[in-house]
A and B are shown apart, each in its own frame.
Chain A
Amino acid sequence: MTTTTAERVLGARERPTSPWQLALRRLLRHRSGLVGGGIILFLLFVALFAPLLAPYDPNDVLLGKEEGIRRRQKPCIYLLGCPKDQPQHIMGLDGNARDVFSRVIYGTRVSLFVGFTTVTVAILAGTVLGAVAGYVGGWVDNLIMRFMDVLLAFPALLLAIAIVTVLGRGLQNALLAIAIVSTPVYARVVRASVLSVKEREFVLAARALGASHLLILVKHILPNSLPPLIVQATLGIATAILDAAALSFLGLGAQPPTAEWGSMLGEERNQVFTAPHLVFFPGLAIMITVLAFNLLGDALRDALDPRLHQE
Chain B
Amino acid sequence: MTQYIVRRLLLSVPVIFGILFVTFALARIIPGDPCKAILGEKATQEVCERFYREHGLDRPIYEQFVAYVRDFFRGDLGDSLRYGRPVLVIIIERLPVTIELSLAALFIAIMVGIPLGLISAIRQNSAIDLFTMFLANIGVSMPVYWLGLLLAYTFALLLKGTPLWLPPAGRLSAALTATPFYEVWGWTVEPETVRFYVYNFFSNMYILNSILTREWDVLKDALRHLILPAGALSTIPMAIIARMTRSSMLEVLRQDYIRAARAKGLRTPVVILKHAFRNALIPVVTIIGLQVGLLFSGAVLTETIFSFAGVGSMLYEAITARDYPVVQGFTVIIAIIYVFANLAVDILYVFIDPRIRLE
Which A residues fall within an 8 A CB radius of B? Answer: 32, 146-147, 149-151, 153-159, 161-163, 165-168, 238, 242, 245-246, 249-252, 262, 265, 269, 272-273, 276, 279-280, 282-283, 286-287, 290-291, 294-295, 298
Contacts and interface: CB of A to CB of B under 8 A. Distances in A.
23 contacts: A153-B15, A153-B339, A154-B335, A155-B338, A158-B293, A158-B296, A158-B330, A158-B331, A158-B334, A158-B335, A161-B319, A161-B327, A165-B318, A166-B324, A249-B301, A251-B320, A252-B319, A272-B152, A273-B156, A279-B146, A279-B153, A283-B146, A287-B143
A154 B305 contact: no
B315 A161 contact: yes
B335 A155 contact: yes
B27 to A, nearest CB: 7
B157 interface: yes
Given A162-B331, A273-B157, A250 B300 contact: yes
Contact of B301 (A32, A238, A246, A287): A246
Contacts of B23: 162
B140 interface: yes
A150 B21 contact: yes
B348 interface: no
B145 A150 contact: no
Size category, B interface: 35 or more
B115 interface: no
A291 B22 CA distance: 32
Given A246-B143, A291-B138, 10 more contacts: A154-B19, A154-B331, A158-B296, A161-B315, A165-B322, A250-B304, A265-B145, A272-B152, A290-B142, A294-B141
B169 to A, nearest CB: 11
Interface string B124-159: 000000000000011011110111011011001100
Contacts of A168: 31
Q: Do most interface residues of chain A lie in helix, strand or loop, or is the interface mixed?
A: helix
Contacts of B211: none
A36 to B, nearest CB: 9
B294 interface: yes
Q: Which 8 A-B pairs have the closest CB atoms?
A: A150-B18, A283-B146, A155-B293, A157-B297, A291-B141, A290-B141, A162-B331, A155-B297
A151 B141 contact: no
A149 B141 contact: no
A288 to B, nearest CB: 8
